[in-house]
A and B are shown apart, each in its own frame.
Chain A
Amino acid sequence: MSYKLQFTELLPYWNVLLYGLLFTIVLTVVSTAAGIAVGTASAAARTFGPLWLGRIVAVYVELIRNTPFIVQLFFIFFGLPALGLKLSESTAAFLAMVINLGAYSTEIIRAGIEAVPKGHIEAGLSLAMSKWEVLRHIVLNQAFRKIYPALSSQIIIVMLGSAVVSQISAEDLTYAANFVASRNFRNFEVYLLVALAYLLLALLTRSLLRALGRVIFKAR
């Protein structure tokens, strides 16, 4: 058991790894923003919208939450071309991430909406506000405040889970690691470094989200 660590052998590939890291970060940020938008709209549709729309949303949520992410990704990238929808690796990765986070965040946000006291909604309606105005100005703010920690955790889960997109050759951090390892065979060093990068990214995201939460929800 004498293995000599040789991190210097990664140096020639620093730009590949950096690109992968940036890709993972952008993928996470964009799909978080879009995924939460989808989740908010879906949760609103389920709680405030017409029954038929709520049903459609329910099917979407259950479909995504009860199938593996990698299968969803493969379906979008390898399956959809059969219907004539051919997406690039990155587009497929982004789309799969948004659809996935959208479904999970729908359930989280819905729980937050349902925790808002019914009386607040009736008070808003009694002030002549429409259902949608009540949702926007009274319900969502309270709901997000309540579920912010759960949503933050989900964002980190999704960020770490994004490693799977390397399987369709989307050029994220894990893809970069695979690439480097296949060139210099320094598997130990590469995956150790990349694991540390994910760890740092997760810790950083967590504290960023916490700080952001303090700014957004400072009042009360």
Chain B
Amino acid sequence: MSLVSIRDVRKSFGPNEVLKGVSLEIAKGDVVAIIGRSGSGKSTLLRCINGLETYQSGAIVADGIEVGGASTNLRELRRHVGMVFQQFNLFPHLTAAENVMLAPTVVNKVSKAEARTTAAEVLAKVGLSEKMDAYPSELSGGQQQRVAIARSLAMRPKVLLCDEITSALDPELVNEVLRVVEQLAREGMTLILVTHEMRFARDVGTKLVFMHHGKVHEEGVPKEVFAAPRTPELQQFVGQVG
């Protein structure tokens, strides 16, 4: 059974149809890499999965919760579906540990002490044990993004959505973040990643999705798809981004 099931989803912003019938089945433990040109609807698709955007037709079911209806329990959904953004979005008035502790204490009502133990654990996982009490402004971009990942992990999500999480980083900081994601993939975390890192998509992904003009234009096993793209659009895209 799919952990995330997306069926014929259509989404418009005003007259502009951005998702034109997208369907995807994502199983537990899948590492889905979504690639495609800017404006092809990748972010919008991710944001529909955790209810940051609504859609007009079709259906999304994530971890058994139907997303998108007026009665959707967004709180319950988002406890199981985490999201990491391109722009880190750490809360600047809180330390790394406090950033990580906020949702567990506020949403899950765990004690400060317990939340701090969890924070220590997830920050260790992303290699930032030493930075627990640092403020975001004292961290590099790569470190900030790793804190953002830890912050999501603290809620013990079943799926993690990552929207171009290395695109805002200086090139030399990209790898430290990708290593963390790779580690998560190895541990069996279900990941849906929008990425421009083609090597990473090929080496770590279990499934590749190429989006084009609001549709899944091609999908398959990353190594196979990269080795022999079937459509001219993907051939061209792969040729361009190298």
Interface residues of A (CB under 8 A from B): 117, 119-120, 122-130, 133, 137-138, 141-142, 145, 217, 219-220
Contact = CB atoms under 8 A, between A and B. Distances in A.
10 contacts: A119-B89, A122-B85, A124-B103, A125-B52, A125-B74, A127-B103, A127-B155, A128-B77, A128-B79, A129-B107
Which of B83, B90, B91 has the most A CB atoms < 10 Å from its CB?
B91
A137 to B, nearest CB: 6
Interface string B61-100: 0000000000000111111001101010111110100000
B135 A128 contact: no
B84 to A, nearest CB: 9
Contact of A123 (B75, B76, B85, B135): B85
Contacts of A126: 50, 52, 78, 82-83, 152
B117 interface: no
Contact of A220 (B92, B148, B155): B92
A130 B103 CA distance: 10
B212 interface: no
A142 B89 contact: no
B167 interface: no
B85 A128 contact: no
A207 B18 CA distance: 54
A220 B78 contact: no
B91 A138 contact: yes
A138 B76 CA distance: 20
A140 B137 CA distance: 19
B165 to A, nearest CB: 12
A146 to B, nearest CB: 11
Given A122-B52, A126-B82, A127-B151, A220 B75 contact: no
B1 interface: no
Interface residues of B, number: 28
Given A133-B107, A219-B135, A220-B137, A128 B89 contact: no
A129 B101 CA distance: 12
Which of B52, B77, B102, B152 has the most A CB atoms < 10 Å from its CB?
B102
Given A127-B152, A128-B75, A117 B107 contact: no
B6 to A, nearest CB: 18
Contacts of B79: 128
A124 B102 CA distance: 9
Contacts of A117: 87, 89
Given A119-B87, A133-B107, A127 B78 contact: yes
A133 B89 contact: no
Contact of A120 (B76, B78, B89, B95): B89
Interface in B116-167: 135, 137, 148, 151-152, 155
Contacts of A137: 91, 102, 106
A101 B145 CA distance: 41
B89 A145 contact: no
Contacts of A142: 91-93
A122 B91 CA distance: 11
A85 B52 CA distance: 48
Nearest to B83: A126
Given A125-B52, A126-B52, A127-B107, 16 more contacts: A117-B87, A119-B87, A120-B89, A120-B91, A122-B85, A123-B148, A124-B103, A126-B78, A127-B82, A127-B155, A128-B76, A129-B103, A133-B107, A137-B102, A142-B91, A220-B93
A119 B83 CA distance: 12
A125 B89 contact: no
**Top 8 nearest A-B pairs by Cβ distance?**
A127-B103, A123-B89, A128-B78, A126-B83, A119-B89, A128-B79, A128-B107, A141-B93
Contact of B93 (A122, A130, A145): A145
